[in-house]
Amino acid sequence: MSEAEEEIELNSREQEQVEEHSAVPTGVVYEAIRRAGLHELERSASGLWWSGVAAGIALSVSVLAEGVLHARLPDTSWSPLVAAFGYSIGFLIVVQARMQLFTENTITPILPVFLNPSLTMIGCLLRLWAVVLVANLVGCAVAAGAMSSSGFMPDDLAAGVMEIARGYAELTPGQQFLRGIPAGFLIAALVWIMPRQDGSGEILVIVVLTWTIAVAEMSHVIAGSTKLFLLAFEGELPIAEALLNGTLPALAGNVIGGTVIFSALAYAQVRERV
């Protein structure tokens, strides 16, 4: 054995510590997400639906928290950087509670489909996407309806939330699409990173990546839809315009960023092994 190949003799406890501090191989991460994807593809429509509705409501907390911070912080150049941390709260709830969020499903069920691209698998994927997307949007509408209700929150806080929503609605369909691509990529990256983390590491990853989406003013189809539904309930934006010019372009961008770009690159890393 050459000097480079020599190993230090370790006891069992030290071997365990080595394993704990070794990087998780890409193939292991891929397989963990693929198995999770198979589980999601096999879930009942009812289970997906209610989990998706809950996710839409929970993710709307991101809009609420960001708006509240925006209202309470002083009008300075650094205030948007701090207010953006409120955007992470809804994602923390959704991810930690393992709720069904559409943008997470741009990678999780895609990996088993890449491995076995049969009509049956593609049909299961489309069913999953349709149920979860509609359920998320229903949850967003429920949350937006509650937030627009008189007396739900103090007037100054409601004004902060509405200001955040109006800023999002000013984006053109083209901007929604283009800004949706990096947002979809980052959410897919979040899913890819999570199997390597535990405890506080998970929370840090969620906060950092979703804060980046908020502070860079990227478009997330679900959180963005809550903002658009708020304006629709307040009579400031027709619901058809909200869906056609906001939700659909952001949806297309998120899918391209999460599925076409990130998931394809993730599969390419392990293609030879599988």
Give dist(CA 228, CA 220) in Å, integer: 12
Task: Identify the pLDDT of residue 12.
Answer: 64
Regarding predicted confidence, which is higher, 271 or 226? 226
CB atoms near residue 1 (< 10 Å): 6
Flag whether pLDDT at 60 surpasses 70: yes
Give dist(CA 230, CA 87) in Å, integer: 16
- Domain containing 189 — which CATH number? 1.20.1080.10
Residue 187 lies in a domain: yes
Question: What's the average model confidence in pLDDT over 103-111?
Answer: 86
Of 54-63, 108-117, 248-257, the poorest mean pLDDT is in 108-117
Residue 5 lies in a domain: no
Question: What residues make up the domain containing 29?
Answer: 25-270
Residue ranges of the alpha helices (H) in the chain? Answer: 12-21, 26-42, 45-72, 79-83, 87-96, 110-115, 119-147, 155-169, 173-193, 200-215, 221-233, 239-242, 248-255, 264-270
Residue 82 lies in a domain: yes
% residues pLDDT > 70 (the chain): 87
Residue 183 lies in a domain: yes
Tally of domains within the chain: 1
Question: What's the average model confidence in pLDDT over 223-239?
Answer: 95
The model carries a pTM of 0.86
Task: Identify the pLDDT of residue 1.
Answer: 45
The 10s digit of each residue's pLDDT in 172-208 is 999 999 999 999 999 999 988 887 666 678 899 999 9
Task: Identify the pLDDT of residue 225.
Answer: 97
